[in-house]
Amino acid sequence: MSESQQINSNHTPANQPFAGLTVVEISTSVAAPFAGQIFSELGARLVKVEKSTGDDARGWGPPFWEGASAYFQALNRNKLSIVCDLRSDEDLQALTDFIVAEADIVIQNLRPGQVEKLGLDGETLTRLKPSLIYCNLGAFGKVGPLKDRPGYDPLMQAFSGIMSTTGEPGRPAVRVGASLVDMGTGMWAVIGAQSALLKRQQTGEGGIVDVSLFETAACWVSLIGSQVLASGEIPQRQGSGASGIVPYRGYLTQDGEIVIAAGSDKLFGLLSGVLGHPEWVADPKFVDNPSRVKNQKELYAMIEELVARQPTEYWIKVLEDAGIPCSPVNNVLQMLEHPQTEALGLVQSVPGTGMRFVGLPLSFNGMRPQPLSAPPKLGEHSDILKESREAS
């Protein structure tokens, strides 16, 4: 049995729903690799196509971890890496033949227009293999005046309005630190492909799924967008709060920060009592949420002054005892080491390595999918194309 066959056999545990599927990932960076990792961790055989210098994310460091950046390693476990020179007619034909012979799904996030020039676009490949599901992860979408522009997570956070509401009032816009647009687009790609798989079960036909960074970013601000559409008013930066709900934000304590979510009249009454001001409940300025939103500057100033008098641990205890939702503002290490994270088994070890990563946020019958193999070395499984040709 060849090395690639051995690894592929490890990708078919009985409790993984995509076992038996082959997914070809023609991608770089974050969005499509994250989609590919979801497929692979749920059991699919994932063949990652890389250029001779590799996925750009391999060099996104420091820190580096066992041969590549931590970014790359976190997005590419359980995969098989093949190097394919898409400017070579021979390599291009070999890849096309492999897709037609073995692939169930293709996901790609190359620059707009590239796959069409190469003949690796969805229209071409689904003509050759009508059962194929082909997923484009684009920047601005398939149509419109910006359809040919490239895109990256910070650009989409800026363009979509996410940054305009992130940060403190009166200060410059701030990017959300997590790559929520890239990774969200990867999630939508998987949701779209799953839907197409269900249709294929019913009809035998595949199809083309289109998702994009811009559409994902626009979706993430859809709640704020509904307020704009309803009022015509441009929202301001919210800091740690949320537009339209008061009190619902973070505060400095004596030794740290805490977020308190008292977003209903009942919770506001409880919070008022804990803070020693039960009279606030009857004050016309704070009697209901619309009144509190209108007078939030005054209310928040009073809460800030009181919360700053005690340490975070004190507030967590008294607020939780009163049934008021709250949380300390953890740093990432505190989150990773928290007993709740440990109890859920969210941080997982990768077999055969010293690496640990946060796993997928779902479980089946109480079992979270587990990493099955290390992120691949560049071109580690390039013999797959040759084996496929010999088998055919």
* Active site positions, annotated: 182
Helix/strand/coil percent split, the chain, to 5: 45, 15, 40
Number of H helices, E strands in the chain: 17, 13
Whole-angstrom Cα Rg for the chain: 25
- Residues 16 and 192: their CA atoms lie apart, in Å, by 19
Residues 264 and 320 sit within 8 Å (Cβ to Cβ): no
- Residues 228 and 221: their CA atoms lie apart, in Å, by 10
Task: Count Cβ atoms below 10 Å from residue 142 Cβ, excluding itself.
Answer: 11
Q: Which of 302, 288, 368, 33 is nearest to 186 (CA)?
A: 33
Instruction: Indicate if the alpha-carbon torsion angle 85, 89, 92, 97 is positive or negative.
Output: negative
Task: Count Cβ atoms below 10 Å from residue 110 Cβ, excluding itself.
Answer: 21
- Residues 28 and 11: their CA atoms lie apart, in Å, by 22
Partnered with residue 358 across adjacent β-strands are: 347
Residue 249's alpha-carbon distances to 140, 241, 299, 304, in angstroms, are: 32, 4, 12, 10
Partnered with residue 69 across adjacent β-strands are: 64
Q: Which of 227, 249, 253 is nearest to 240 (CA)?
A: 249
- Residues 350 and 167: their CA atoms lie apart, in Å, by 36
Residues 108 and 102 sit within 8 Å (Cβ to Cβ): no
Q: What single DSSP character describes residue 58?
A: G
Tally of residues, the chain = 392
The backbone region for 157, taken as left when phi is positive above 0, alpha when psi lies in -120 to 50, beta otherwise, is alpha
Phi first, then psi: what are they for 65, rounded to 5°? -140, 110
